[in-house]
Structure 1
Amino acid sequence: MVLKVDSEPSEETKPILSNDTSDNYKTDLKIQDAYKHITSSMRADPLRIEKPELALELFSTAVKIQNVPLAKQCIEILYNHLNKHNALLIMNHISKCKLVAANPPDPFDLEPSAPPIVENDNQMNEDWVQDLVDNLRNSCLLEIDKNADFVLRHKDILELSYGDVLTVLTRDTLQASNELLVYSAAVRWAVEECKRRTLQPQAINLKAVLRQLVYAPRYGLMSKREFLCRTVDGVKGPDRSGFLEERETERILDYIKKKRKNRAVEELPHRGSVPRKLCGERPRVYHSGMSGDSACSATSTCDKFVINFLTCWTAIFD
């Protein structure tokens, strides 16, 4: 099956949380067990939850029944448990919660065991969920930035929506040690998205679901060997993928060649040659998924020595 796209798809993959949630709300034993003591906990002591997954489920419940105090407590719990292992999970979940909040279900369909607790009318404006999750989402992105190498290899990145994965991979502050990590994450996500849409992972379908993600990797920051890699993590390398037009490939290779010779060259479009704002120098090493002569090499010991020597010399005589 081949996907032909005349314009951008009008909607993303159907979110896990949908408007028809009353049955799930009543049958989800985990939420029911926790919800039995929500009212008393909120009026006496703060909720004590050690698992972020449970806090996310309770937050979803709070959004559906528009219970602001419960939602705030869940957000605080998530802040306290945020780390590189769950940043993608939290970011993905709160994005779906915002989708549900945009079209809240009829409260009479939910029949909650206790009435929603509302602090005041001003809090129940249409942006209340947005206000709660914006800072948490930003904290997730900062956690992703500083742990980019770990996060880009994590399986949870394959579950993000198109908008979220585009946000992550195009950030100037993403501290990936190599742009091939960004390329690999984008293509692996596209393969999973094709599966979700019951499409064959052929080049034409992958390019269609990638859309602007084709330009998320900053190809101008790669070496020639990296750009011409045959395979990366089981997928074809940038030059062999078929995602880029021939003229784009030629321009990228020309940029890489001139950059290596320290010659003046016009910057690539789509910020393809703009360095990301890394915190300190990091070695350009990539090991996973490379084959034979296409493997991308690390910086040589001699190069490292020269760089360190020049850095010390500048520091002493500046």
Structure 2
Amino acid sequence: RFLVGRGAQQQRLPAHKFVLSVGSAVFDAMFNGALATNAEEVELPDVEPAAFLALLKFLYSDQVQIGAETVMTTLYTAKKYAVPALEKACVDFLQRQLSSDNAFLLLAQARLFDEPQLAALCLDTIDKCTAEALAAEGFVDIDRDTLCAVLERDTLRIREVKLFAAALRWAEAECVRTGRPVNAENKRAALGRALFLVRFPLMSIEEFALGPAQSGLLTDRELVSLFLHLTVNPKPPVAFPESPRCCILGKEQVVARFQQTESRWGYSGTSDRIRFAVDRKIFVLGYGLYGSIHGPSDYDVNIQLVQTGTGQVLGSHDTSFNSDGSPARFRVLFKSPVEVTPNVNYTACATLKGPDSHYGTKGLRKITLDCPRGSKVTFQFTYAAGNNNGTSVEDGQIPEIIFFT
């Protein structure tokens, strides 16, 4: 007999030592090894009775009997007693149940039980449905190491300010769990190194000022250094990562709207702008821009993506690039991908400061590109009303839009 579980849930369950020994190397060592026990009753206090019953059913009949309520305890029992076939059945069950609602819960369990394949699938789901996964109830219940493992990823599909807000929710829940007052000092302590995985430099100055800067989590020195980093060029170093998070949902593509390149396009502080629309959802990474006709030169540039109808700036980035004097396009990217919805007008804007550059001519109004998995996307380019520094559908700057689907 086996005395399984603890307290009021404890049960006495009969089983044959021979059957258990054949199906489990751990039970074989327990009953037949050098330290074999001869006790009439074997105590298994750390195993749930329902999980042990599932193990017995599998060893006796090769049938898998697991459900949402018992799968994690059954997985633990299968691993503890080295029954790999039942362990695989549990992992397969969890994979079938995986969704954005439970991805964080299952990720924590996968890490606890050392199931790298399940953990990888959970992370993939979090990458693809980041906002939904962070909004799920189970997110605030994960441990700090799991939180850090997620914040370290380059492939999260969410704006950094929303990621910070989620981390803040987690810190508040952790304070409650540990019985500490929910204040800025304790939230910072709860986050620990996770705070330094938030990529504050990817935020716009407005996002940072209205969110993290007012949270109380950052020191005065950190606030000053981040404000300087977000507002001046060259940008001083900060203690927080600044590499972009790049989505993994699709292969990077480029739509090139000009068929020919010419020389001498000047800049006087006015933005080059072109309006476009697409027939399916895409994510804009940035633009390809023309550079100098006078040999190697530096440019300061601000790029923006604006929803034309509302005037809302969806993405903006101030940076610089070096042109080698060739007609090649130079990539200037946003800090994070910008979502573009189908059949809505957007305006691509670039404000350059630097010497005269090349420019494009013989522009195309309509371009259809093949996308991965056999789909297509069509771009429609139209004139952007207002002062565009001369850029139009036919000629000008912003020869390329870099995107993925």
TM class by shorter chain equals 0.5 to 0.7
Query: Which of 60, 64, 73 is 1:47 aligned to?
Result: 64
Aligned to 1:162: 144
Is contact 1:190-1:210 (8 Å) kept?
yes
**What residue is the counterpart of 1:26 in the other structure?**
10
Q: Is the 8 A contact 2:100 2:136 kept in 1?
A: no
Q: Aligned-pair distance for 1:211?
A: 0.8
Contact 1:255 1:266 in 2 (8 A): yes
Deviation for aligned residue 1:41: 4.0
Out of 255, 259, 273, the position equivalent to 2:229 is 255
Cα distance change of structure 1 residues 48 and 312 upon mapping to structure 2, 3 Å threshold:
farther
CA distance in 2, matches of 1:46, 1:82: 22
| Structure 1 residue runs without a partner (length 5+) | 1-20, 99-129, 230-236, 284-297
User: 1:137 and 2:113 equivalent?
Assistant: no
Q: State the Cα RMSD in Å.
A: 3.4
**What is the match of residue 180 of structure 2?**
199
How do 1:224-243 residues align onto structure 2 when only pairs under 5 Å count?
A: 224-229=205-210, 237-243=211-217
- The answer to whether the 8 Å contact 1:92/1:159 transfers is no
CA contact (8 A) 1:82 1:140 kept: yes
Tell me, what secondary structure is at the counterpart of 2:120?
helix
1:251 Cα deviation (Å)?
1.9
Aligned counterparts of 1:27 and 1:157: Cα–Cα separation in 2:
33
* Counterpart Cα distance in 1 of 2:49 and 2:216: 50
Structure 1 pair 70/305, CA: closer, same or farther in 2 (3 Å)?
A: same
**Relative to 1, partners in 2 of residues 1:312 and 1:299: Cα closer, same or farther, differing over 3 Å?**
closer
Give the C-alpha shift of residue 44 in structure 1: 5.2
In the alignment, the residues of structure 1 paired with residue 152 and residue 283 of structure 2 have an alpha-carbon distance, to the nearest angstrom, of: 19
Q: 1:275 aligns with which of 228, 241, 244?
A: 244
Structure showing greater radius of gyration is: 2
Q: Mind listing any 5+ residue stretches in structure 2 that lack a counterpart?
A: 13-46, 251-281, 285-304, 314-344, 349-378, 382-392
CA contact (8 A) 1:179 1:221 kept: yes
1:147 shift after superposition: 0.7
Query: Residues 267 and 46 from structure 1, CA distance in 2 versus in 1: closer, same or farther, beyond 3 angstroms?
Result: farther
8 A contact 2:54–2:74 mirrored in 1: no
TM-score, length of structure 2 as denominator length? 0.51
8 Å Cα contact 1:214/1:244 also seen in 2:
no
> TM-score, normalised to structure 1's length?
0.63
Give me the whole-angstrom Cα distance separating, in 2, the residues matched to 1:195 and 1:160.
Answer: 14
Counterpart code for 1:314:
E
Query: Do 2:128 and 2:156's aligned partners in 1 also have CA atoms closer than 8 Å?
Result: yes
**In structure 2, do the counterparts of structure 1 residues 266 and 282 end up closer, same or farther at CA, with 3 Å as the change threshold?**
farther
Aligned length: 234
Residue in 1 that maps onto 2:101: 85
Amino acid at match of 2:157: Q
Measure, in 2, the Cα distance between the counterparts of 1:78 and 1:139: 10
Contact 1:158 1:189 in 2 (8 A): yes
Identify the structure with the greater strand proportion: 2
The answer for the alignment partner of 2:111 in structure 1 is: 95
| Alignment partners' CA distance in 1, 2:187 and 2:306 | 32
> Going by fraction, where is helix more abundant, 1 or 2?
1
Matched residues in 2 for 1:180 and 1:27: separation? 50
Q: Deviations over 1:79-128 (max 9, x none)?
A: 222222221121122334x4xxxxxxxxxxxxxxxxxxxxxxxxxxxxxx
Aligned-partner Cα distance in 2 for 1:64–1:43: 18
Query: Residue 171 of structure 2 aligns to which amino acid in structure 1?
Result: A
By relative contact order (CA 8 Å, sep 6+), the higher-ranking structure is 1
Residue 239 of structure 1 aligns to a residue whose secondary structure is helix
Helix, strand or coil: the match of 1:306?
strand
> What amino acid maps onto 1:47 in structure 2?
V
Which is further off, 138-147 or 76-85? 76-85
Q: Distance in 1 between the 2:102 and 2:11 partners?
A: 26
Q: Matched residues, percent identical? A: 25
Stretches (4+) displaced over 6 A: none
Could you tell me which of 265, 275, 281 is aligned with 2:235?
265
Which of 145, 154, 162 is residue 181 of structure 1 equivalent to?
162
Distance 1:253 1:223 in 2: 10
